[in-house]
Amino acid sequence: MPEERICQYEPCSQPFIQKNNLAKIKRFCSKSCCDHAYRASHYEDLCAHGRAYYEENKGKWQTYHQENSEERRIYRKEYYKTHKEEENASNAAYRAAHSEELAASHAKYVEENPEKIRLGNRNSINKHRDKRNEKRRARYAEHREEEIAKVLVYAKANPHVSRESSARRRAQKLSAPINDLTETQWQEIKAAYNERCVYCPDTCWRCRQHKHVLTKDHIIPLSKGGPHTASNIVPACLSCNAKKGNRAPLKPVQPLLLTIA
């Protein structure tokens, strides 16, 4: 009589029927489960063997991967589609078991390849911009009050970041040809002018005592196609900046042509 058994591979644990005429008792419902169970119980040995084999045949592996990169990509994509849950479970288990090792490896890679990381992030943002924006809009619509509260808390804790972001956004709206001024450069520009307004006379007591709130004045106004960059920025007090508006400078000024930042 056929006998019902339970697959001994824990992630499976499905019942299966074994015929009594088999001499060997089956512990697994399929060869796939048997292979997975073997790999799980001999993981360290298999990894050591794989590393040793790779070191001995590194050139052969690299050549094969380069010559068959597209076929391998297609195969992995199709395999993932048919084994999605199994692959996700396996990857999650590996990350949980090697979290510290993976974190250290990632930190080392980021430190050694900052330009590659920035380029990859930029390409990913450009490639998935519409999808990212759609997700953000959906999250904002669902958690509007929470998102506004987070923005206000961050702006209060980081006022300089908030000011820089607002200035960049304004420059972007006005289609500035260059939009790369940073907060560090702005601090450097103010220090170069001794924290004084470039338009106020030397006798201005507010400038002497650094009582003015200095603002960024664009020598060529943004509304007239001026760039939002260090070579087009000078410090001006609120009064002088408002008086200048989108006209020519109130007097000849020499911008800071080179910044360290």
Q: What is the pLDDT of residues 158-195, one digit of tens each?
A: 888 888 888 888 888 888 888 888 888 888 999 888 88
- pLDDT higher than 60, residue 20: no
- Contact (Cβ atoms closer than 8 angstroms) between residue 240 and residue 207: no
4 vs 44: which has the higher pLDDT = 44
Neighbouring C-beta atoms of residue 163, cutoff 10 Å: 15
- Is 239 strand, coil or helix? helix
Provide the 3-class DSSP secondary structure of residue 244: helix
The C-alpha angle with vertex 24 and arms to 23 and 25, in degrees rounded to 5, equals: 120
Helix H segments across 174-237?
Answer: 183-192, 205-208
State the Cα–Cα distance between residues 10 and 226, nearest whole angstrom. Answer: 67
Parallel, antiparallel or unpaired: strands 3-6 and 214-218: unpaired
Tokens for 124, please give them.
């990913």
| Residues sharing a CB contact under 8 Å with residue 8, sequence separation 6 or more, in sequence order | 27, 28, 33, 37
Contact 187, 259 (CB under 8 A): no
pLDDT of residue 145: 92
CATH 1.10.287 fits 158-244, yes or no: no
Residue 24 has a pLDDT of 57
Q: Where are the domains of the chain?
A: 158-244
Rounded to 5°, angle at Cα 202 from 198 and 208: 90
Classified as helix, coil or strand, 225 is coil
Contact 3, 20 (CB under 8 A): yes
Answer yes or no: is pLDDT of 2 > 80: no
d(CA 245, CA 218): 10
> Whole-prediction pTM value?
0.48
**Average pLDDT estimate for 125-132:** 90
Burial 178-211 (b: 16+ CB within 10 A, else e): ebebeeebbebbbeebeebbbbbeeebeebeeee
**210 close to 185: Cβ distance less than 8 angstroms:** no
Report the pLDDT averaged over residues 16-43: 75
81: enclosing H helix or E strand: helix 69-82
Sequence-distant (6+) residues with CB within 8 A of 37 are 8, 9, 28
8 Å CB contact between 218 and 233? yes
Instruction: Read off the pLDDT band of 202 (50, 70, 90).
Output: confident
